Structures are given as C-alpha cells and as structure tokens.
Amino acid sequence: MHTDARLSSLQEKHLRLDRAILDEEKRSWPDDSAIKRMKLEKLHLKEEIDRLARTSHRVN
C-alpha cells in the first residue's frame, strides 16, 4: 500500500477508535476492559502514524 494511503487508513482507524472510546465512556455501565483495549490499540496506531509520517518526510 502506498505510504500516503496507509497513513490515511491508519488515521481513519485512529479516529474511529477515538469515537468508539467516547461512546463506550458515555454508557451507563462502560466496559473498562474494552476501553483499555481500545486505548492501547489507539496508542499503537498513533505510534505507527508517527513512524510513517517521519519516514515519509525523509523520503520527500
């Protein structure tokens, strides 16, 4: 996958996770383990986004 397309895809996933976390936190009985899992996944996505962005800037 082209770097820009991959970066865009990761950013979309990051945004979807952010919304899912907010939705879960608004529930009457939020699932703390699900929130923790989503936050960890979001962190991994952010790290990958940052890595790709740095790599992309070096190439250009």
Q: How far apart are CA 56 and CA 44, in angstroms?
A: 18
Find the Cα–Cα–Cα–Cα dihedral 51, 36, 38, 1, rounded to 10°. Answer: 30
CA dihedral for 22, 24, 25, 26, sign (positive or negative): positive
pLDDT given for residue 55 in this prediction: 86
Over the chain (60 residues), the average pLDDT of each successive run of 10 is: 88 98 98 99 98 79
The pLDDT assigned to 3 comes to 85
For residue 19, the one-letter residue type is: R
**Do residues 37 and 43 lie in contact, with contact meaning Cβ atoms separated by under 8 Å?**
no
Query: Could you give the CA distance from residue 49 to residue 57 in angstroms, rounded to a whole number?
Result: 12
What's the pLDDT score for residue 42? 98
